[in-house]
Chain A
Amino acid sequence: MVQTATSTDTFQNTSFKVVLPFYIYGALAFLAGTLLLVLTSDSFTHHYFHPHTLATTHAIALGWGTMLILGASHQLVPVLIEGKLYSVKLAAGCFILAATGIPFLVYAFYVFNTGWPARLGGTLINVSILVFLINIAVSIIKSKKENVQAVFIFTAIVWLLMTTLVGLVLVYNFTYPLLSKESLNYLPLHAHMGIVGWFLLMIIGVGSRLIPLFLISKYTNSTLLWVIYALINAGLLLFMCSFLLFSLESVYFLAGGLVITAIPLLAYFCLKSFQLRIRKKVDAQLKISLLSVLMTVVPVLLFIIVIGASLAGRDSTRIILTYGFTIFFGWITTIILGMTFKTLPFIVWNKLYHHQAADGQMPTPKDLFSNRLFQAMATSYLLGFVLFAGGILLANTLALKSGAIVLLLAAFMYNLNVFKICIHQTLKPCV
């Protein structure tokens, strides 16, 4: 028997004090984002370049999606690379900078003040992401383990930094003509670098490790993951080059086709992991995370319709808005709703109970939140999502308003459960 002994000291998780603020901030931003949706739902009947739509999109994309993923990454990256996070101080700095910058940027979009609030917010966010990139890059360099997931995550962070840099240039371009065209023209580039480069790569990187892990699946296929990685990056680079250099429709289709090809391959990876699982019982949190993979079909179909409408010379504003909504409030929100309750309870449980003897009094991580509240949240979220998406497509203000209210209710229930976990006190045996 060949044995490789590992020091048990290597399993030092990132301090929960660093990770928890990201989760709490993300939960509050989800509540704020859905509240904005209720207050400004009428703006979704107009063009997507609307101050209120931009404010809501950035509250959700940065405050909710990005902050939660940043928090989870500080916890999960050291686990993936079998090393330690390089610096806890940099992680704290990353949080403070982003947490300060995001409200400035969202406010600036809401009142459409592209002056100092937008510039300050954008700059703080860029510095925050740069700090995050440095922290993760040094952590990866210092670790001995290389794996496909770490490469996915590192590349995703590079794309995030590029997205926020382009965003900052667009903000400055409102006042100083830095670019040859108006900022509005560069929105597709900025949006897709963020959606595909940051969110898609990051979610695949983390999900391809966590989903088989939670299912105890026999399936592993790093070759398939490398193919997915190559398709997405090639598609995005091609789109970027075409957008900035030669703007050829056929190249756009090729770029879109490469990225879209990666989606069924990802679905195949998840399906095989599911089929070859040893653990037959799949909990609600994992089910909703797997549902998010299916939900990628909706924006992909809408993307194809937008291309078709564009070729036919038809107006596709409402479909583009629905496309964006189904990405941020559909695919990204669904996976975060599920994965929050597969990671946060464990982070808190790890802190509170790992030094206690197993005596039967100890709760499991799942006991730290209410499963009934989770089920109610998931139901109202899906109802709100369908109502709001339908409302955008049909330009129906009643559907938009009622969908936004139901989504706000889901965000409220999500917050209740997140705070229930965060304020959990260690259970003491009865005397």
Chain B
Amino acid sequence: MYPSNFETMRVITNNLERCSEALTALGKVVDPEIGLNIVDLGLVYELDFDEAARKIYLSMTLTTQFCPMGAAIIDLTKIALETKFPREVIQVELISDPPWTHEMISETGKNFLSK
């Protein structure tokens, strides 16, 4: 399932167009336990594009700081961005504050989980 309405996502970015491309790529990264992608889960906080340094900075969180699948989700996130932007350096940082809450799940995500 891919994120459908990026406009409603509360992702901070300095480049809306490239952010949309990045979120499409990140929409393929699915939490293996929940079955929902990390964008609709609301795990992506910030996407910054440094054109001069050819660098993409992503800050994200996990549904719980204890997430046993944390390592896999981070690796898959990096791979998804590296595949989409092969010439850029990808930097992923985990943010624990503010922590993830269920309010961060998109409407699409909530519909998916309520089935």
Contacts between the two chains (Cβ within 8 Å), count: 101
Specify the chain B residue showing the minimal Cβ separation from A5: B93
Contact B71 A11 (CB under 8 A): yes
**Interface assignment of B17: CB less than 8 Å from any CB of chain A:** no
**Interface assignment of A350: CB less than 8 Å from any CB of chain B:** yes
Q: Which B residues from 17 to 74 make CB contacts under 8 A with A?
A: 28-30, 32-35, 59, 63-72, 74
Chain B residue total in the interface (Cβ 8 A): 37
Contact A218 B102 (CB under 8 A): yes
Contact B114 A355 (CB under 8 A): no
Residues of B within 8 A of A111 (CB): none
Question: Looking at A10, A279, A346, A359, which has the most chain B CB atoms within 10 Å of its CB?
Answer: A279
Given contacts A214-B33, A280-B114, A365-B32, contact A357 B66 (CB under 8 A): no
Main SS class of interface, A: loop
A 341-364 binary contact with B (CB < 8 Å = 1; else 0): 001001001100111111110001
Residues of A within 8 A of B92 (CB): 8
Chain A residue total in the interface (Cβ 8 A): 41
Q: B75 is contacted by which of A349, A355, A365 (Cβ under 8 Å)?
A: A355
Residues of A within 8 A of B32 (CB): 346, 349, 364-365
Q: Which A residues from 146 to 182 make CB contacts under 8 A with B?
A: none
**Interface assignment of B97: CB less than 8 Å from any CB of chain A:** yes
Interface locus among A76-84, A126-134, A393-401? A76-84
A 262-278 binary contact with B (CB < 8 Å = 1; else 0): 00000000000000001
Complex Cα spacing A204 to B19, Å: 43
Given contacts A3-B95, A356-B79, A358-B79, contact A216 B72 (CB under 8 A): no
Given contacts A279-B113, A346-B32, contact A355 B79 (CB under 8 A): yes
Residues of A within 8 A of B64 (CB): 213
Complex Cα spacing A218 to B63, Å: 11
B78 CB, nearest partner CB in chain A, Å? 8
Given contacts A79-B68, A213-B66, A357-B80, contact A280 B115 (CB under 8 A): yes
Contact A11 B70 (CB under 8 A): yes
Contact B115 A281 (CB under 8 A): yes
Given contacts A4-B96, A11-B71, A358-B76, contact A278 B59 (CB under 8 A): no
Complex Cα spacing A5 to B61, Å: 9
Question: Looking at B33, B74, B97, which has the most chain A CB atoms within 10 Å of its CB?
Answer: B33
**Interface assignment of B15: CB less than 8 Å from any CB of chain A:** no
Specify the chain B residue showing the minimal Cβ separation from A349: B32
Complex Cα spacing A1 to B66, Å: 22
A 64-94 binary contact with B (CB < 8 Å = 1; else 0): 0000000000011001101000000000000
Contact B68 A76 (CB under 8 A): yes
Residues of B within 8 A of A8 (CB): 71, 74, 92-94
Residues of A within 8 A of B71 (CB): 8, 11-13, 350, 354
**Interface assignment of A2: CB less than 8 Å from any CB of chain B:** yes
5 A-B pairs besides A6-B96, A358-B76 with CB distance below 8 A are A3-B97, A6-B95, A7-B94, A8-B92, A359-B28
A residues contacting B by CB (< 8 A) are: 1-8, 10-13, 75-76, 79-80, 82, 145, 209, 213-214, 216, 218, 278-281, 343, 346, 349-350, 353-360, 364-365
